Amino acid sequence: MSSKHSIDTKDFRSVMGNFPTGVVVITGESSSGELAGMTIGSFVSVSLNPPLAGFFIGSGSPSWKKIAETGKFCASVLSVDQEEWCWRFAKESEARFDGVPFTRGVNGTPRLEGSVAWIECDVDQVTTAGDHDFVLGRVTTLEASKSNAGAMTFYRGAIGGTAR
Ligand SMILES: Cc1cc2nc3c(=O)[nH]c(=O)nc-3n(C[C@H](O)[C@H](O)[C@H](O)COP(=O)(O)O)c2cc1C
């Protein structure tokens, strides 16, 4: 057990991993049109009026740096069938979008096909939160898929899924 005075980073990760989350891929592009995207478990609905949603991203994230240049993003909520994309967008690679089917959303950002929902945002505010930044987005468009696919979950380091 860790005391409140010295939290070991390994313990922090491992205990926090007991809190299950959904999984999204945040996508967008740089000012030169280069696609960027990363897997995020900290996505959260924030406010109804105005409609706000956000996520935490490690400071210095190369993908976030690119997306921040245009200030627009889409959160594709992954289905249980999208495990390959979950790992792909979490690993260092120049080719994260290779073979990934997507369409363009209303704000032009990539919507991963086969996801259970898409939430498009304009960046409203970015706040430093320890070694992460909190990106608050103003929701501009959102849509849920009509398919019956379950949503992906992440718990104790492993992928699971809701029934539907
Ligand atoms: C299920 C899952 C959830 C993740 N959630 C987050 C998160 O909320 N914030 C974060 O900064 N990284 C998170 N990551 C790690 C990033 O996906 C990973 O560091 C990725 O390389 C970030 O892209 P970048 O290297 O271009 O910055 C998560 C990874 C996985 C597999």
Give the model confidence (pLDDT) of 28-47 as tens digits: 999 999 999 999 999 999 99
Say if CB 86 and CB 155 are below 8 A apart: no
Half-sphere exposure of 8 (CA within 13 A, CB side): 7
Instruction: Please give the backbone phi and psi of residue 85, each rounded to the nearest 5 degrees, phi first.
Output: -70, -35
Cα–Cα nearest to 112, from 139, 68, 81, 150:
81
Take atom 11 of ligand 1 and give the residue whose Cα is closest.
57
| Mutational pocket test of ligand 1: of 39, 44, 57, the residue with most ligand atoms within 8 Å of the beta carbon | 39
CA of 42 to the centre of ligand 1 (A): 9
The answer to whether the CB of 61 is under 6 A from ligand 1 is yes
CATH architecture, range 21-77+88-93+101-146:
Roll (2.30)
Question: Average pLDDT of the chain?
Answer: 96
Q: From the alpha carbon of 63, which atom of ligand 1 is closest?
A: 26
pLDDT confidence of residue 94: 85
Please name the residues in contact with 131: beta carbons below 8 A apart, sequence gap of 6 or more.
58, 59
Q: From the alpha carbon of 39, which atom of ligand 1 is closest?
A: 17
Tell the burial category of 78 from Cβ atoms under 10 Å away from its Cβ (0-12, 13-18, 19+): buried
Instruction: Answer yes or no: is pLDDT of 75 > 70.
Output: yes
CA of 108 to the centre of ligand 1 (A): 23
pLDDT confidence of residue 109: 98
Tell me the C-alpha to C-alpha distance, in Å, between residue 17 and each of 5, 59, 60, 116, 153.
20, 20, 23, 23, 12
